[in-house]
Chain A
Amino acid sequence: MIVKMKDVIKRYQGNTLALDYFDLEVHAGEVVGLLGPNGAGKTTAIKALVGLHEVDGGIVEVFGQAQNGKNRDLRQRIGLVTQEITVYEELSAYENLRFFGRLYGLKGEALEQRIQEVGQRIGLADRLHDIPKKYSGGMKRRLNIGCALLHEPELIIMDEPTVGIDPQSRHYILSFVKDLAKKTNVSIIYTSHYIEEVEAIADRVYIVDQGHIIAHGTTKSLIEQMKGDATMHITVKQGSPATVTKLKALPDVKEVTLQDDTYHVIAHAGAVILDKVLAQLSQETIVHVASEQPTLEDVFLMLTGKSLRDGEVA
């Protein structure tokens, strides 16, 4: 096993519980998605995993060794893509890659070769001698990823690597991660609050909320937990929290949320409730009614009672 976190507890100053009996397992060659809203504990879990945080309890093992932050050999085997862009903006991409390669002991011809390989892989081969200041946000993100790949780590941890970039760059990065996982035997932990990203690339997903893993499994198995549940989306002219309360009180209704004047209603299997729902909405102007297959978002919604959009919990 590449990573094992079991019953991990981490408290911050003021006794805030950041990780609450947190569990995570990653096997060789696997892409694991860590999904949760901002503040859920994803970054804390990663810092504990790479040894940047001491934990207050539980087991943290990487490559079968206890992670206490002092084992420098472990660091050689891990690549961390930080949530923030951490490259030197004044120096060229080449110099940035060279620096990070040197930190991990690469030199000479091997280093030059790796810089070219990584440059190709992140799509910056022809812009290696430009300074990141001249790059778009997406290019900087790609360089940020490249800096973590120089030393060919066996475990790559990507902490929200697509925050704040355009859809095209986001697509590039997702394809890149998929490709990396397919062509190498590297294990990847990918944290995100974008459900569709995790759904697209992860072999297994851990859903984290308030420092605790509330569900895990393959995307398919998690969605199957929703099987049979009826999902409806009813858009009205002006939604009201009072209606949410009324809809929640209906028999067979499991969860109701209101987002942008759309009521999202999840009901038990086989329940015929459309007429009851519409009756509750008789005082409102209905614009659109739709039903759809469950998604990972619905799983998250069911498990947490919250919806996940751009890291905000509604």
Chain B
Amino acid sequence: MVRFYLLRLLKDTIGHVILIGLPLVLITLMVSINRNVPEAPPVEVAALYIGLIYILMFQGFGAAYTFEGLEHDFFSPFKNRLLMSPLHPMRFVYANLLFSILVSYAQSLVLLGYVWLVFGAQIPNLVGVLAVLLLGVVFAQLFAAWLIFVFKKAARAQLAITLYIIGAMILAGFFVPLPESAFTRWARIYSSPLTWVHHALYGFIEHRPEDVFLGVGLLSVGIVVVALWAARLSKSVLS
């Protein structure tokens, strides 16, 4: 099962192009634009900031691994074949989730490695940063499982997650900086799981333990809630 699910994901060439190739191009482009902005931060600082935003964004799009895998296995005639096997059907859900998490996390590491190698970005508290990125991927993939169990079609789940990512990025002020106000200050931290991850990442990078606790805490609660909810929804799908 390990070999099969891994092969299945690794053979998705288009997925790799979109989830690795496209953010690499975007990061490079945004860093070079940033270079020409007056009073811009040093390139290695800007590259890390831009790189992390794109990593979070594409972790969200990487959720497609889970909902496409689960759609194939449980929202198509394939379901009968798997349910007929002696294995408990939840094992196929776990396999989909586990390998989607691994592949998406590996993609995040490639992007992080790129900003480090190419732009010389310094990443303080690397282990903490890597751990938070992993939590981000786990949340995104569990959220994807929840989405497919709710919407039952990958195309609808894709639309939902795209709207979520765009909305979350706008609210967080990642696309365009928002004017300072009580609301935007709140939104930068609390408005979505994407900002929770970002808050925890910069907590580690800028040595602010309280931000780490807040971000990781919110994210952990989010993971538990989404996991339990998805598990509950899966019962009707797998029966």
Residues of chain A touching chain B, judged by Cβ–Cβ distance below 8 Å, are 47, 50-52, 72-73, 75-76, 78, 80, 82-84, 86, 88, 90-91, 95, 98-100, 102-105, 147
Ordered nearest first, which 8 A-B pairs have the shortest CB separation? A84-B77, A103-B85, A99-B4, A72-B86, A86-B81, A86-B78, A75-B86, A80-B84
Q: Is the CB of B4 within 8 A of A78?
A: no
Q: Is the CB of A80 within 8 A of B86?
A: no
Q: B68 CB to closest chain A CB, in angstroms?
A: 11
Q: Is the CB of B4 within 8 A of A98?
A: yes
Q: A53 CB to closest chain B CB, in angstroms?
A: 10
Distance, CA A100 to CA B78, complexed state (A): 12
Q: A46 CB to closest chain B CB, in angstroms?
A: 9
Q: Which of B4, B11, B12, B77 contacts A83 (CB 8 A)?
A: B77
6 contacts between A and B (CB under 8 A): A52-B84, A75-B84, A75-B85, A88-B8, A99-B4, A104-B85
Q: Is the CB of A90 within 8 A of B11?
A: yes
Q: Does B7 contact A (CB under 8 A)?
A: yes
Q: A154 CB to closest chain B CB, in angstroms?
A: 14
What residue of chain B has the Cβ atom nearest to residue A54's Cβ?
Answer: B239
Distance, CA A197 to CA B77, complexed state (A): 24
Distance, CA A90 to CA B10, complexed state (A): 11
Q: Is the CB of A91 within 8 A of B86?
A: no
Distance, CA A52 to CA B7, complexed state (A): 29
Q: Indicate with 1 or 0, residue by residue over B1-25, a CB within 8 angstroms of chain A CB atoms.
A: 1011001100110000000000000
Point out the residues of chain B lying under 8 angstroms from A88, CB to CB: 4, 8, 72
The count of chain B contact residues (Cβ–Cβ below 8 Å) is: 19
Q: Which of B3, B4, B80 contacts A80 (CB 8 A)?
A: B80
Given contacts A91-B11, A99-B1, 10 further A-B contacts (CB under 8 A): A47-B80, A78-B84, A80-B81, A84-B76, A84-B77, A86-B78, A86-B80, A103-B82, A103-B85, A103-B86
What residue of chain B has the Cβ atom nearest to residue A78's Cβ?
Answer: B84
Point out the residues of chain A lying under 8 angstroms from B182, CB to CB: none
Distance, CA A271 to CA B77, complexed state (A): 50
Q: Which of A73, A86, A99 contacts B77 (CB 8 A)?
A: A86
Distance, CA A84 to CA B85, complexed state (A): 17
Point out the residues of chain A lying under 8 angstroms from B205, CB to CB: none
Q: Which interface residue of B11, B12, B77, B84 has the most chain A CB atoms within 10 A?
A: B84
Q: A225 CB to closest chain B CB, in angstroms?
A: 35
Q: Does B127 contact A (CB under 8 A)?
A: no
Q: Indicate with 1 or 0, residue by residue over B73-99, a CB within 8 angstroms of chain A CB atoms.
A: 000111011111111000000000000
Q: Is the CB of A103 within 8 A of B87?
A: yes
Distance, CA A188 to CA B3, complexed state (A): 32
Q: Is the CB of A147 within 8 A of B84?
A: no
Distance, CA A84 to CA B80, complexed state (A): 10
Distance, CA A76 to CA B76, complexed state (A): 22
Distance, CA A105 to CA B63, complexed state (A): 30
Q: Is the CB of B86 within 8 A of A76?
A: yes
Point out the residues of chain A lying under 8 angstroms from B84, CB to CB: 50-52, 75, 78, 80
Q: Which of B1, B76, B83 contacts A102 (CB 8 A)?
A: B1
Q: B218 CB to closest chain A CB, in angstroms?
A: 37
Distance, CA A98 to CA B77, complexed state (A): 20
Q: Is the CB of B81 within 8 A of A147?
A: yes
| A95-B4 contact given A103-B85, A104-B85, A105-B86, CB 8 Å threshold | yes
Q: A49 CB to closest chain B CB, in angstroms?
A: 11
| A91-B8 contact given A76-B86, A103-B86, A104-B85, CB 8 Å threshold | yes
Distance, CA A104 to CA B86, complexed state (A): 7
Q: Is the CB of B8 within 8 A of A90?
A: yes
Point out the residues of chain A lying under 8 angstroms from B3, CB to CB: 95, 98
Interface residues of B in 119-157 (CB under 8 A from A): none
What residue of chain B has the Cβ atom nearest to residue A76's Cβ?
Answer: B86
Point out the residues of chain B lying under 8 angstroms from A51, CB to CB: 84
Distance, CA A90 to CA B12, complexed state (A): 9
Q: B176 CB to closest chain A CB, in angstroms?
A: 39
Distance, CA A95 to CA B87, complexed state (A): 18
What residue of chain A has the Cβ atom nearest to residue B91's Cβ?
Answer: A103
Point out the residues of chain B lying under 8 angstroms from A72, CB to CB: 86
Distance, CA A20 to CA B96, complexed state (A): 39
Point out the residues of chain A lying under 8 angstroms from B4, CB to CB: 88, 91, 95, 98-99, 102
What residue of chain A has the Cβ atom nearest to residue B88's Cβ?
Answer: A72
What residue of chain A has the Cβ atom nearest to residue B12's Cβ?
Answer: A90
Distance, CA A76 to CA B85, complexed state (A): 7
Q: B13 CB to closest chain A CB, in angstroms?
A: 10
Point out the residues of chain B lying under 8 angstroms from A91, CB to CB: 4, 7-8, 11
Point out the residues of chain B lying under 8 angstroms from A104, CB to CB: 85-86
What residue of chain A has the Cβ atom nearest to residue B2's Cβ?
Answer: A102
What residue of chain A has the Cβ atom nearest to residue B78's Cβ?
Answer: A86
Point out the residues of chain A lying under 8 angstroms from B78, CB to CB: 86
Point out the residues of chain B lying under 8 angstroms from A73, CB to CB: 86
What residue of chain B has the Cβ atom nearest to residue A50's Cβ?
Answer: B84
